[in-house]
């Protein structure tokens, strides 16, 4: 593949979050979306912006509770909202079907709920669920929600071997739906392997996006999460939100 990549006819990475927010998406589950969401939300709030993190649907609850983690990092209950919580640790559409109690999960209600929070917030940081093709509700997927909400996307990916394919396909899928891509965060980057050390430049070449490696952060420390994200991502990422 040449330096221009086969995505060369598409919009390149914007490098910036819109004034009304960003949609944090992942290449997979467990890649660190929640830590990035918490760090961004805390960074924005520390800068004087009343940012709110939005989790459209939480599965595996409890113990998983991404909104509660953001609240803890930011030290404020109003820093995050979760629209729906389901017990089975499965894709939302499947979790609703497998739940013990009678659960109704509507794509329209999730979409409208997220849109209402975005519209009512100074800046919203919406966190996805797993990867883009995860079934959400009513035959719709996470990528449908990202597209319908209309915020630019920040892609969170693993740092090591195997991330090139997942990351390039995620960026391509977003661009095919006309979703601007802010950039790519390579989470828990240590540079311990050749794959890790070469992945940032290869992903930049493949996608045309800015790539920001973020080292492992102490998730037990609010200061570590916020300072880690604000140190390793450029200030230009959040400038439109804090300068409005």
- Per-residue pLDDT tens digits for 52-96: 999 999 999 999 999 999 999 999 999 999 999 999 999 999 999
pLDDT at 102: 74
- 108 assigned to a ligand binding site: no
- 59 assigned to a ligand binding site: yes
- 187 assigned to a ligand binding site: yes
Pairing of strands 135-137, 153-158: unpaired
CA distance 142 to 162: 22
Distances (CA, A) of 180 to 138, 145, 155, 174: 25, 14, 11, 7
The CA R_g of the chain, rounded to the nearest whole Å, is 17
pLDDT at 244: 59
Q: Is 22 helix (H, G, I), strand (E, B) or coil?
A: strand
Both tokens of residue 113?
């709920």
Band the pLDDT of 6: cuts 50, 70, 90: very low
pLDDT at 2: 34
CB 107 within 8 A of CB 144: yes
Q: How far apart are the two ends of the chain, measured CA to CA in Å?
A: 39
CA distance 24 to 33: 6
Which residue shows structure tokens 């939302």?
A: 92
- 30 assigned to a ligand binding site: yes
Model confidence pLDDT, tens digit, residues 203-236? 999 999 999 999 999 999 999 999 999 999 988 8
| Rounded mean pLDDT, 7-33 | 81
- 130 assigned to a ligand binding site: yes
Indicate the CATH number of 21-242 among 3.40.190.10, 3.40.710.10, 3.90.1150.10, 3.40.50.300: 3.40.50.300
Residue percentage of the chain with pLDDT more than 90 = 85
Distances (CA, A) of 201 to 105, 161, 164, 170, 197: 41, 14, 11, 17, 8
pLDDT at 112: 98
* Catalytic center residues: 55
Model confidence pLDDT, tens digit, residues 140-178? 999 999 999 999 999 999 999 999 999 999 999 999 999
């Amino acid at each position: 593949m040449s330096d221009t990549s086969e995505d060369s006819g598409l919009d390149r990475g914007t490098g910036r979050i819109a004034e009304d927010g960003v949609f944090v998406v992942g290449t997979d589950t467990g890649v660190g979306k929640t830590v990035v969401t918490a760090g961004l939300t805390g960074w924005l709030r520390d800068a004087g912006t009343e940012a709110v993190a939005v989790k459209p649907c939480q599965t595996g609850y409890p113990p998983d509770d991404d909104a509660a983690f953001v609240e803890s990092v930011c030290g404020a209950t109003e820093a995050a909202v979760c629209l729906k919580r389901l017990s089975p640790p499965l894709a939302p559409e499947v979790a609703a079907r497998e739940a013990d109690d009678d659960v109704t999960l509507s794509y329209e209600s999730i979409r409208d709920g997220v849109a209402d929070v975005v519209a009512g917030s100074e800046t919203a940081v919406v966190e996805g669920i797993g990867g883009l093709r995860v079934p959400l509700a009513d035959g719709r997927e996470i990528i449908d929600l990202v597209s319908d909400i209309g915020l630019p996307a920040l892609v969170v990916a693993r740092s090591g071997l195997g991330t090139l394919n997942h990351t390039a396909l995620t960026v391509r899928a977003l661009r095919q739906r006309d979703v601007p891509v802010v950039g790519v965060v390579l989470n828990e980057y240590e540079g311990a392997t050749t794959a890790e050390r070469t992945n940032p430049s290869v992903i930049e070449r493949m996608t045309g996006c800015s790539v920001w490696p973020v080292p492992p952060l102490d998730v037990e420390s609010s200061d570590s999460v916020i300072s880690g994200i604000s140190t390793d991502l450029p200030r230009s990422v959040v400038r439109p939100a804090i300068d409005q």
